[in-house]
């Protein structure tokens, strides 16, 4: 009985500490966001005293937040005061780029889906993974199921390999250093050398091919989508059961669609 009582008391103390830590973290995050908004709304640099006064914070707290933001590049000292740093601009531009990508791709994804009646994916590369941004599923009973926001290993997907192929071998090696290429099917590429060889073929022919590497019985063809700088910002693919994969036709359609989307994003190549 005594041991159980001590255990319950320990659990209560632990939960209380966790709630306290959570509350402190939320308050700190809110103060940091308040500070960022204050700097964004100000047309001139603000002194530490001005910031502390407007946010109703002790100077020591305001100073600590500013130093963290300055260290991370979200704030900078300028003319004796603080302004937004370049990192804030970069984050804003990334949001703008992502918003434009989704806006420009919607009609293209829908058209590609209607022409093929197969599942069409738009995904972006994040390290060794891809994140699905848009999906238009096939209306046929036998189809690939996925969801927006879902992450998938890049080495098993045509949208992933299409974007990896725009990188150099050295850049690909850096992504996969100390990482295991997990097998999802017997056809998955599980060594870096096999993946690099596949990426060489992808560069040569202009599109990536997933030959049942993520799901048995499913094949995908995909191409990279580039922005005005020439950087790959996404991959576009058509996925279908192997028995319905019209590879030559689908390759032509996805290459044309990816090229159109790239042009809409300012790519002139």
Length of the chain: 269
pLDDT at residue 195 is higher than 70: yes
Q: Which residues lie closer than 8 Å to 195 by C-beta, 6 or more apart?
A: 155, 161, 164, 172, 176, 181, 189
- The single residue listed with the structure tokens 């050398």 is 193
Sign of CA dihedral 50, 51, 52, 54: positive
The token pair at 43 is 């047309």
Cβ–Cβ < 8 Å for 61, 31:
yes
* CA distance linking residue 110 with residue 23, whole number of Å: 44
Cβ–Cβ < 8 Å for 224, 258:
yes
Beta bridge partners, 75, equal 84
- The single residue listed with the structure tokens 């159109």 is 260
For 24-63, the pLDDT digits (tens) are 557 788 888 899 889 888 888 899 999 999 999 999 999 9
For 53-90, the pLDDT digits (tens) are 999 999 999 999 999 999 988 898 887 899 888 787 66
Prediction pTM value? 0.68
Cβ–Cβ < 8 Å for 126, 164:
no
């Amino acid at each position: 009985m005594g041991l159980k009582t001590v255990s319950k008391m320990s659990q209560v103390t632990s939960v209380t500490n966790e709630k306290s830590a959570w509350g402190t973290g939320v308050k700190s995050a809110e103060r940091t966001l308040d500070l960022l908004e204050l700097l964004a709304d100000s047309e001139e640099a603000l002194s530490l005293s001005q910031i502390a006064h407007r946010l109703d914070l002790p100077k020591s707290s305001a100073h600590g937040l500013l130093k963290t933001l300055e260290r991370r590049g979200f704030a900078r000292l300028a003319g004796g005061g603080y302004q937004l740093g370049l990192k804030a601009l970069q984050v804003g531009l990334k949001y703008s780029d992502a918003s434009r990508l989704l806006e420009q791709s919607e009609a293209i994804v829908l058209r590609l889906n209607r022409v093929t009646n197969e599942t069409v994916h738009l995904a972006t590369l994040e390290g060794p993974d891809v994140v699905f941004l848009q999906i238009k599923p096939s209306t046929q009973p036998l189809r690939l199921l996925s969801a927006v926001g879902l992450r998938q290993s890049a080495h098993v997907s045509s949208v992933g390999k299409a974007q990896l192929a725009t990188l150099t071998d050295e850049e690909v090696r850096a992504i996969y250093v100390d990482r295991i290429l997990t097998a999802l099917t017997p056809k998955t590429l599980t060594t870096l050398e096999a993946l690099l060889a596949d990426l060489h073929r992808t560069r040569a022919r202009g599109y990536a091919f997933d030959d049942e590497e993520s799901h048995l019985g499913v094949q995908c063809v995909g191409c990279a989508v580039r922005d005005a700088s020439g950087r790959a910002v996404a991959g576009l693919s058509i996925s279908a059961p192997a028995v319905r994969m019209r590879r030559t036709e689908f390759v032509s359609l996805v290459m044309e669609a990816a090229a159109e989307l790239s042009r809409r994003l300012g790519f002139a190549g």
